[in-house]
């Protein structure tokens, strides 16, 4: 019996470029599985298709071909949506709300009772080190503060699965450390975490497995312990660069042969 909570099979997504006036493939035949209580990091160069993949997993985009399921349901199914948390790469916040008001609003969307959503809002603000900013209007918050708030809202419904697109973006070293600790605590609670990141030291420290996406294709996949037995992120960096270079060489050879 499988314990996979995220599963894709030949997942493909085409976009249309109005500038180039042609279609291009953002995700190309992606097949992967993420197990219960696993922290999975998706790596890739800019434009590799990481954000598109995340949007397909949470149901914001529909696939051109292939299948994708989360928690045993088709991505975007309401039965799955109530049990996931999501932080987009560029989250939008209502600037006239305070941090506390925004989290209360997010909790209300999930139907949480008034008392519970206020308790969870305050607990999460404390978790992301923003308790002192509960009543500060969001227009006065820094990018790092907004990123922390975005992580808090992704946790407001106590999700089973968490999807994070560049969760350390805009954070200072202390903020990055705090987010790493939060993600480790989520794993200890039995949560499943799927995220994108360019920050390999963070990935090396918190992930069980990584996948390397190149031009929309899964070029490599391996456990972090197998890549970095000594615990150095430089081993992960070498694995990433080698995988990307090999995938590009194979692609170029295929183009030439045609």
- Of 155, 207, 160, the C-alpha closest to 184 is 207
- As beta bridge partners, residue 68 has 8
140 within some domain: no
pLDDT mean over 57-66:
95
Please state, in angstroms and rounded to a whole number, the distance separating the CA atoms of residues 101 and 86: 19
57 within some domain: yes
Better-predicted residue by pLDDT, 8 or 142: 8
Assess whether pLDDT exceeds 50 at residue 1. Answer: no
Angle, helices 99-109/114-127, rounded to nearest 10 degrees: 130
Average pLDDT, the chain: 91
170 within some domain: no
pLDDT of residue 251: 84
Better-predicted residue by pLDDT, 23 or 27: 27
Task: Tell me if residue 67 falls in helix, strand or coil.
Answer: strand
pLDDT mean over 213-218:
95
Tokens, residue 50? 């990481």
pLDDT of residue 200: 92
77 within some domain: yes
Q: Long-range contacts of range 235-244, CB-CB < 8 Å, 24 or more positions apart?
A: 235/204, 236/200, 236/203, 236/204, 236/210, 237/200, 239/212, 240/43, 240/200, 240/210, 240/212, 243/212, 243/214, 243/219, 244/44, 244/45, 244/212, 244/214, 244/219
What is the pLDDT confidence band of residue 254, given thresholds at 50, 70 and 90?
Answer: confident
Domain carrying residue 244: 1-83+198-258
Percent of the chain with pLDDT over 70: 98
pLDDT of residue 20: 66
62 within some domain: yes
Total number of domains constituting the chain: 1
pLDDT mean over 236-245:
94
Indicate the pTM of the whole model: 0.92
Q: Mind listing the pLDDT tens digit for each residue in 66-105? A: 999 999 999 999 999 999 999 998 888 888 999 999 999 9
1 within some domain: yes
246 within some domain: yes
CATH number, domain with residue 34: 3.40.50.300
């Amino acid at each position: 019996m499988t314990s996979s909570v995220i599963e894709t099979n030949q997942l493909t997504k085409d976009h249309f470029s109005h500038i180039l006036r042609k279609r291009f493939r953002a995700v190309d035949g992606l097949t992967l599985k993420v197990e219960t209580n696993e922290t999975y990091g998706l790596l890739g160069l800019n434009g590799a298709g990481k954000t598109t993949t995340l949007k397909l997993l949470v149901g914001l985009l529909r696939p051109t071909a292939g299948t994708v399921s989360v928690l045993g349901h088709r991505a975007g199914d309401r039965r799955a949506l109530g049990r996931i948390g999501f932080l987009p790469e560029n989250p939008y916040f209502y600037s006239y709300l305070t941090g506390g008001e925004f989290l209360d609003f997010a909790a209300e969307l999930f139907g949480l009772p008034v008392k519970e959503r206020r308790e969870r809002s305050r607990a999460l603000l404390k978790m992301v080190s923003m308790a002192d900013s509960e009543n500060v209007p969001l227009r006065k918050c820094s990018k790092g503060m907004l990123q922390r708030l975005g992580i808090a809202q992704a946790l407001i419904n106590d999700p089973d699965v968490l999807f994070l697109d560049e969760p350390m973006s805009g954070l200072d070293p202390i903020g990055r450390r705090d987010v790493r600790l939060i993600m480790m605590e989520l794993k200890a609670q039995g949560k499943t975490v799927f995220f994108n990141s360019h920050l390999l030291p963070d990935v090396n420290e918190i992930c069980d497995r990584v996948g390397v996406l190149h031009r929309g294709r899964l070029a490599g996949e391996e456990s972090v312990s197998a890549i970095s037995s000594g615990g150095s992120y430089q081993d992960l960096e070498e694995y990433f660069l080698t995988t990307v270079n090999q995938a590009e060489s194979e692609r170029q050879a295929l183009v030439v042969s045609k």
